[in-house]
């Protein structure tokens, strides 16, 4: 959700870097750059996949273990609400998953189980995903936004005024001199070159920090902030949220909703202007979920505060905390999700908290109140609402389900443990959901099937289903 990395200036351009303490000391080199020197980087994702948001080439059943994203040439992978994004090495962005609000930015409202280019966008140097909208920082110092606009989150002076609304192609609000961006829920924030912050979108809990609780559909100055190094946004659309700001002196400010102590000021009172997070110094990175907050200190200590209902603070028990508490040491990357948290320590990804849809990626759907290991060779992690992603060294797992178009046919192959029986189903992609045109039962040993007699040029959905395997659906078009 709202995790923000330290920024460095390189040749006048702003680039996003993952906080790696040894590398920061050695000269502010990003973890991705360092990993690139030692081998290939891959992306993996886990959690909900009903819209294809894992980018694994299929949609349907969730995955509580990491699966490979069908992607290369990326700089990071960023989960949103029901969609996922990847800023690319060439300055473009690819997106996949749900698209009800136009959040894939390709001019349609069609979901996709594999990465597609965001149209009309280039020169992207930093990216942030909100609930159902996106925000990109351009090399020019301007921004691009697209997707949901119910609360004015597009920032161009328009708004859905509480109704479901969206923009399916990037627009370019009149904002300049931006050096960093952040998004979460239904609000956005941008740091300007003078170290101040502007924000826009939903404001019911004062999360825009302008001293009011009035929605803003254009960027508005956050009161009393200067010397800001990074900002993080945590929220759920229509329910509110809060923001964090990391100052150059290593202190952290917070504002917005505070019913669980997520502002870290020792109270549970909302604040429409920034307040100091108590007892926190030497911070180098911050991340915000809707109701909890994380900070990484220069010595590698991860601090957490706010709601702990699902164990998302990682400190045992489920009692909330209105002030920062230490979680683990030796940490190099952090990310706060909806009700859970992720971190990287010694090249291993850890997760804790709420585990619905398998968002922790540990092979279970059981909540965890303390950090548990998820995968090795981790470079960075990103927590979303209902799914997660990580960048890793080397190749990811082999694809679970693949499709091969043939002449009037589609062949599906899958990897799985033995099942009592397999069921293959198919339909035109335009067929109403829930209505399959035909099906075929297969024996336990089956791992491949070819659907024949299909119309060339017509897009089809093919489903593979079994008890433990769940239902996974691919979309493809037969060859003429």
**Interval 297-347: pLDDT, tens:** 999 999 999 999 999 999 988 999 999 999 999 999 999 999 999 999 999
Exposed e or buried b per residue across 170-199, where buried means at least 16 C-beta atoms within 10 angstroms of its C-beta = bbbbebeebbbbbbbbbbbbbbbeeebbbb
pLDDT of residue 50: 96
pLDDT of residue 159: 87
For the residues of 56-84, what is the DSSP string, one character each? SS-EEEEEEEEEE-S--SBS--EE-SSEE
Judged against a pLDDT cut of 70, whether residue 238 lies above it is answered with yes
What distance in Å separates the CA atoms of residue 255 and residue 208, rounded to the nearest whole number? 8
Q: Is 141 exposed, middle or buried (0-12, 13-18, 19+ CB in 10 A)?
A: middle
Judged against a pLDDT cut of 80, whether residue 14 lies above it is answered with no
Judged against a pLDDT cut of 80, whether residue 30 lies above it is answered with no
**For the ranges 163-172, 207-216, 290-299, which has the lowest average pLDDT?**
163-172
**For the ranges 35-44, 55-64, 457-466, which has the lowest average pLDDT?**
35-44
CB atoms near residue 295 (< 10 Å): 29
What distance in Å separates the CA atoms of residue 208 and residue 115, rounded to the nearest whole number? 32
pLDDT of residue 433: 73
Q: Is 324 exposed, middle or buried (0-12, 13-18, 19+ CB in 10 A)?
A: buried
Task: Give the position of tokens 């029901």.
Answer: 82
**For the ranges 83-97, 379-393, 418-432, which has the lowest average pLDDT?**
418-432
Exposed e or buried b per residue across 430-439, where buried means at least 16 C-beta atoms within 10 angstroms of its C-beta = eeeeeeeeee
The pLDDT-based confidence of 29 (bands split at 50, 70, 90) is very low
Beta bridge partners of 83: 97
- DSSP secondary structure letter of residue 53: T
**What size, in residues, is the chain?**
480
In this structure, are residues 388 and 63 in contact, taking their beta carbons and an 8 Å threshold?
no
In this structure, are residues 69 and 30 in contact, taking their beta carbons and an 8 Å threshold?
no
- DSSP secondary structure letter of residue 278: T
pLDDT of residue 219: 98
pLDDT of residue 2: 61
Judged against a pLDDT cut of 80, whether residue 434 lies above it is answered with no
The pLDDT-based confidence of 163 (bands split at 50, 70, 90) is low
Assign residue 287 a region: left if phi > 0, alpha if psi is -120 to 50, beta otherwise? beta
The pLDDT-based confidence of 157 (bands split at 50, 70, 90) is very high
Nearest alpha-carbon partner for 408 in 373, 456, 446, 374 = 456
Write out the two tokens for 114: 């594999």
pLDDT of residue 35: 39
Report the chain's mean pLDDT, rounded to a whole number: 91
3-class secondary structure, 353: strand
Sign of dihedral through CA atoms 213, 128, 93, 11?
positive
Q: Which residue has the higher pLDDT, 245 or 10?
A: 245
Beta bridge partners of 473: 59, 463
Q: Is 252 exposed, middle or buried (0-12, 13-18, 19+ CB in 10 A)?
A: buried
What distance in Å separates the CA atoms of residue 27 and residue 10, rounded to the nearest whole number? 11
pLDDT of residue 7: 34
Write out the two tokens for 94: 């690819």
Domains and CATH numbers, the chain: 2-393 (2.130.10.30), 401-476 (2.60.40.10)
């Amino acid at each position: 959700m709202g995790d923000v990395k330290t920024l460095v200036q390189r040749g006048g351009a702003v680039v996003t870097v993952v906080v790696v303490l040894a590398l920061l000391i050695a000269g502010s080199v990003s973890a991705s750059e360092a990993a690139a020197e030692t081998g290939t980087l891959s992306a993996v994702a886990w959690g909900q996949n009903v819209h294809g948001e894992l980018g694994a080439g299929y949609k349907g059943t969730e995955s509580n273990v990491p699966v490979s994203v069908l992607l290369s040439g990326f700089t990071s992978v960023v989960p949103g609400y029901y969609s996922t994004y990847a800023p690319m090495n060439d300055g473009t962005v690819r997106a996949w998953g749900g698209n009800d609000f136009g959040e894939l930015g390709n001019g349609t409202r069609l979901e996709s189980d594999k990465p597609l280019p965001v149209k009309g966008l280039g020169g992207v140097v930093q990216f942030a995903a909100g609930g159902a909208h996106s925000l990109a920082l351009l090399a020019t110092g301007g921004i691009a936004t697209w997707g949901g606009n119910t609360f004015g989150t597009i920032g161009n002076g328009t708004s859905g005024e509480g109704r479901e609304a969206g923009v399916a192609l990037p627009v370019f609000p009149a904002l300049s001199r931006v050096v960093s961006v952040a998004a979460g829920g239904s609000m956005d924030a941008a740091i300007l070159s003078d170290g101040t912050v502007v924000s826009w979108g939903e404001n019911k809990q004062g999360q825009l920090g302008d001293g009011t609780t009035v929605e803003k559909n254009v960027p508005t100055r956050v009161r009393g902030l200067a010397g800001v190094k990074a900002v993080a946004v945590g929220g759920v659309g229509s329910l509110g949220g809060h923001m964090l700001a990391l100052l150059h002196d290593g202190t952290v400010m917070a504002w917005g909703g505070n019913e669980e102590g997520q502002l870290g000021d020792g109270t549970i009172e909302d604040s429409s202007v920034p307040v100091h997070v108590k007892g926190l110094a030497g911070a180098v990175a911050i991340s915000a979920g809707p109701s909890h907050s994380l900070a990484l200190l220069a010595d590698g200590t991860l601090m957490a505060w706010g709601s702990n209902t699902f164990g998302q603070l990682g400190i045992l028990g489920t009692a909330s905390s209105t002030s920062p508490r230490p979680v683990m040491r030796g940490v190099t990357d952090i990310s706060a999700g909806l009700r859970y948290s992720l971190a990287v320590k010694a090249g291993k990804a850890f997760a804790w908290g709420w585990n619905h849809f398998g968002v922790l990626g540990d092979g279970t759907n059981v909540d965890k109140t303390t950090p548990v290991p998820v995968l090795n060779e981790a470079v960075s992690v990103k927590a979303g609402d209902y799914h997660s992603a990580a960048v890793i060294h080397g190749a990811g797992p082999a694809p679970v389900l693949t499709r091969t178009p043939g002449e009037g046919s589609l062949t599906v192959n899958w990897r799985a443990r033995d099942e009592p029986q397999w069921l293959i189903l198919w339909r035109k992609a335009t067929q109403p959901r829930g209505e399959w045109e035909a099906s075929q039962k297969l024996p336990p040993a089956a791992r491949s099937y070819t659907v024949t007699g299909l119309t060339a040029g017509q897009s089809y959905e093919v489903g593979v289903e079994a008890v433990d395997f769940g239902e996974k659906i691919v979309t493809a078009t037969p060859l003429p």
